[in-house]
């Protein structure tokens, strides 16, 4: 059986569900032994629900419903236990607050935390001294602030890592992984619902780029690559996507007709040719153009563009060449 990697959301929900079930189970046994039936019922609901959520996420890989149910369980168990047993159960407030920030967005978690603390504070106000009330509110406030800050920072870092995983760090274009996923997605859409508009691939290679690295150094070569990507990106519209294929090669996926893409290829070739790069460097590009053919894979499509690009190089470079159908 092939192993399927779990998303971070799945792992978090499953881990918290499992931890909650295992932590509450001993208390359930103690409550039953002591015949404390109200708390035992509350603990039983918590164990049964968290175990069910663990199984639900494991088999369906869906987390939205599970996250909200788990949030309600965290709030309900903490509030219900304190309501039934009084201030001695106040310690359950803190893990409940932390769990909320792990399973739902920070702003929603913050709102639920404020409501929960206010309700619990009201329930305990008559059972605790003024000093105990102050301690409760300050300790929950500190837990709230640290949990919010951690959750917000974690989400920000996840977003940045996601961007980096699909971006080439030198040029800012999409990387090879992003290109491959875009090709797979496009081909799948074409096979399910063939679009009226055609699409084309451009494979762009900087001619004799190795000479720049050898003569001016790799730092200069990196600058040329970054500037070339910026030039191409400036020409493209929202329906045209730029990727760095590797080394000095770029790929453009254009949702345009063949005629429009031929014009785009010539525009790119001429723009790069005319641009005054530093140190008097002149760059030309060879471009292979391939229109998508029904029933071919993305890699077959890319292969035809690659063949056309090498034909352009063989014909003298600084040319655009159309792939055979």
3-state secondary structure of 239: coil
248 tagged catalytic? yes
User: Measured between alpha carbons, how far is 140 from 300 in angstroms, rounded to an integer?
Assistant: 59
Burial class from Cβ neighbours inside 10 Å (0-12, 13-18, 19+) for residue 87 reads middle
Q: Per the residue annotation, which of 180, 181, 208, 248 is the catalytic one?
A: 248
Question: CA dist 125 to 36, 98, 198, 320, Å?
Answer: 24, 23, 69, 78
Q: What secondary structure letter does DSSP report for 319? A: -
Beta bridge partner(s), residue 320 = 287
Token digits for 35? Answer: 């015949």
**Whole-number Å distance between alpha carbons of 6 and 9:** 8
Distance CA 21, CA 275 (A): 65
> Which residues are identified as catalytic?
248
């Amino acid at each position: 059986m092939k192993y399927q990697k779990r998303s971070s959301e799945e792992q978090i929900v499953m881990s918290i569900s499992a931890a909650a079930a295992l932590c509450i189970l001993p208390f359930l046994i103690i409550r039953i032994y002591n015949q404390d039936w109200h708390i035992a019922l509350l603990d039983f609901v918590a164990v049964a629900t968290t175990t069910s959520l663990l199984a639900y996420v494991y088999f369906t890989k869906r987390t939205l419903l599970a996250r909200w149910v788990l949030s309600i369980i965290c709030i309900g168990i903490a509030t219900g236990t304190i309501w039934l047993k009084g201030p001695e159960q106040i310690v359950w407030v803190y893990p409940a607050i932390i769990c909320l920030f792990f399973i739902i967005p920070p702003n929603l978690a913050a709102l639920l935390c404020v409501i929960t603390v206010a309700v619990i504070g009201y329930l305990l106000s008559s059972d605790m001294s003024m000093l105990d009330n102050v301690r409760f509110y300050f300790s929950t406030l500190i837990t709230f602030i640290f949990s919010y800050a951690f959750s917000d920072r974690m989400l920000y870092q996840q977003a940045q890592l996601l961007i980096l995983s699909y971006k080439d760090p030198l040029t800012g274009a999409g990387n090879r992984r992003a290109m491959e996923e875009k090709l797979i997605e496009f081909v799948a859409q074409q096979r399910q619902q063939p679009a009226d508009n055609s699409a084309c691939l451009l494979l762009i290679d900087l001619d004799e780029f190795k000479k720049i690295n050898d003569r001016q150094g790799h730092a200069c070569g990196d600058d040329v690559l970054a500037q070339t990507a910026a030039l191409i990106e400036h020409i493209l519209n929202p329906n045209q996507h730029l990727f760095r294929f590797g080394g000095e090669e770029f790929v453009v996926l254009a949702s345009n007709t063949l005629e429009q893409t031929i014009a785009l290829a010539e525009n790119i070739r001429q723009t790069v040719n005319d641009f005054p790069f530093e140190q008097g460097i002149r760059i030309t590009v060879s471009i292979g153009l391939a229109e998508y053919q029904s029933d071919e894979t993305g890699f077959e499509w890319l292969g035809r563009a690659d063949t056309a690009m090498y034909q352009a190089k063989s014909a003298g470079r600084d040319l655009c060449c159309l792939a055979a159908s």
